[in-house]
């Protein structure tokens, strides 16, 4: 896959061999959080269309997805996003079905039905020195190692972040 930054307000996703790459027309153009948001919508849309194509016995190698956005005020945010897919090998009679399938993208559903977002944070206690994230993680790991044997440490205390993989130092019943 390749994501190309078309402008400051648009991206294109197209299938390519090898790992996913992100390209810009110039070194001055940076990959912004808005490009990342649009890229996730483009990738998700492409994925559901390609999956549908497999089941419908259609080719999807020539499918590209462009996503552009416009900003809105009060508060300043992305106010609108437009998805345009180009699929030269798609039979014209399947276009409306493909548009309906594109709406099945989970990122699309998330943006049209926004989740609740909770923000939490921590700061150094008054009169103490601020600690870096690495120092905080080291404190959690040491605290877990010093915990009484009757209490199995939580995965977060062991440094595991996400996934179902077992931490090599985790007790069997963790």
Cβ neighbors of 58 (< 8 A, separation 6 or more) are: 52, 89, 90, 91, 94
* pTM, entire model: 0.72
DSSP 92: G
Percent of residues, the chain, with pLDDT higher than 90: 70
pLDDT of 160 higher than 80:
no
User: Which of 66, 58, 56, 59 shows the shortest CA–CA distance to 86?
Assistant: 66
Instruction: Look up residue 132 and give its two tokens.
Output: 């870096």
Q: Is the dihedral of CA 132, 135, 141, 147 positive or negative?
A: negative
Q: What local confidence, expressed as pLDDT, does residue 128 receive?
A: 77
Closest CA to 103 of 63, 61, 58, 44: 44
- pLDDT given at position 157: 37
Mean pLDDT of 61-76: 97
| Confidence (pLDDT) at 135 | 73
Sequence-distant (≥ 6) Cβ neighbours of residue 109 within 8 angstroms: none
pLDDT band at 126 (very low <50, low <70, confident <90, very high): confident
Q: What is the pLDDT of residues 3-45, one digit of tens each?
A: 999 999 999 999 999 999 999 999 999 999 999 999 999 999 9
pLDDT surpasses 50 at 170: no
Q: Categorize the per-residue pLDDT at 148 as very low, low, confident or very high, splitting at 50, 70 and 90.
A: low
What are the chain's domains? 2-112 (3.30.300.20), 121-163 (no CATH)
């Amino acid at each position: 896959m390749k994501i190309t930054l078309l402008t400051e307000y648009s991206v294109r996703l197209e299938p390519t061999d090898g790992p996913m790459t992100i390209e810009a027309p110039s070194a001055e153009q940076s990959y912004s959080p808005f490009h990342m948001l649009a890229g996730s919508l483009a990738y998700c849309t492409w994925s559901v269309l390609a999956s549908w194509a497999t089941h419908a016995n259609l080719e999807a190698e020539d499918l590209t997805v462009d996503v552009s956005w416009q900003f809105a005020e009060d508060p300043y945010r992305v106010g609108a996003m437009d998805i345009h897919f180009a699929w030269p090998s798609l039979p014209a009679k399947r276009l409306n079905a493909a548009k309906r399938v594109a709406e099945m993208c989970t990122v699309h559903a998330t943006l049209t039905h926004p989740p609740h977002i909770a923000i939490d944070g921590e700061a150094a206690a008054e009169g103490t020195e601020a600690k870096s994230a690495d120092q905080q993680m080291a404190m959690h790991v040491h605290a877990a190692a010093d915990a009484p044997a009757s209490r199995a440490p939580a995965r977060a205390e062991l440094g595991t972040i996400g996934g179902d993989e077992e931490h090599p130092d985790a007790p069997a019943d963790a």
